[in-house]
Structure 1
């Protein structure tokens, strides 16, 4: 079983933030990506490189996975995923971002094979026990902002 927790920004040590995940909108639709070799959709994001600022990770991953050329990106919160499986009892931390993309370029030839633009969370998710919570957290963030 997985447990997802949310934390305010700057409350978890920076060096514990291993990845950035970016809920991105383009033309008022959410972007989900399909990684090469998979048949499921996921939120753009990825692992932080050694010595990389987590905000730079988010911008880099957004470009690499969507082709976003012109965009605004905003930190939303820190989150963790904790597994209670005896073989994998760990808690890993990431930072969740929201981005409004103004311009998409050609999709870079990295790990993503295609993107989709949707109004709601797709049915076939790579991480169905995690991604809907992240999507909803960004919806709450946007609602609270207005």
Structure 2
């Protein structure tokens, strides 16, 4: 169980705390995957996921918990994320990255009320998404 970590000027709130902790991360991830599962413009990124998104949802919740400054649940359960290595079997190009980011940006818009935080997270997710690309850009 994590200890409470009240925000002070010396110890500002983490993004995890700012979006509502565990419940906020779950809401963000669930909306993200609901969008991916329902938007026709996300069909290519949806196609590289399993038929059921249950496992993907759970793993992303665990990962984002630590990535956003909360409990490092993914590492506790699975070890180092090694994101590129774990995603290498899947063809991730510009299109898949952009579709993933489209769904995440929409979920951020709907779930993160702090505009500055939302923009910071969008930029961080864009860097992460670009890091995950493993297919050459087609000219």
TM-score (normalised: structure 1): 0.28
Larger helix fraction of residues? 2
* Greater strand proportion: 1
With the length of structure 2 as denominator, give the TM-score of the two structures.
0.29
Larger RCO, structures 1/2 (Cα 8 Å, 6+ apart): 1
Q: Report which of the two structures shows the higher radius of gyration computed on alpha carbons.
A: 2
